[in-house]
Amino acid sequence: MGSGHIKIIAENRKARHDYHIESEVEAGLVLKGTEVKSLRQGRVNLKDAYARIKDGEVFVYQMHIGPYPHASYDNHEPLRPRKLLLHKREIKRLYGKVNEKGSTLVPLKIYFKNGKAKLSLALAKGKRKYDKRDAIRRRDEQRELERTRKQYTSKY
């Protein structure tokens, strides 16, 4: 990934909790003007968003981009499916993984890179309930350790 000016607009925090992330890929987005303007105002929610491959193209669904308040007409539909721009070989690779391994395509974050809207798409596997419980238990143990360490170090 070339660096450049990156401004994160929204992240899907639930994704890392609900999925094992296998790999990430950056995709461009095909957007309407009012959508770009709404994104610049941070009016986007990735909570329920997911991506699917359809006829060799990748689309993101359930990504909510709020209507642009200053558009008098021709405002976009907040939940419309939006096409993602990826190289053919990248799409083929993702298609193979999704089909053979039962992985899902989950949007992780949306950001502007050098003025262009980009979406970070993860190839992910759903965590099972016990995985989640395990992750929560580990996190709690980690917090407990931190707490104990802080108490211990603050005494001296």
Per-block mean pLDDT, blocks of 10 residues, the chain (156 long): 76 88 94 90 92 94 90 84 95 90 91 94 85 83 87 69
What are the tokens at 3? 């660096």
Q: Does 92 reside within a domain?
A: yes
- The answer to whether 38 and 66 are in contact (CB under 8 A) is yes
The boundaries of the domain holding residue 112 are 6-126
CATH number at residue 121: 2.40.280.10
Looking at residue 156, its pLDDT comes to 57
Q: Does 62 reside within a domain?
A: yes
**Could you give the 3-state DSSP secondary structure of residue 97?**
helix
Q: Does 32 reside within a domain?
A: yes
Among residues 33, 29, 87, 89, the alpha carbon closest in space to that of 59 is found at: 29
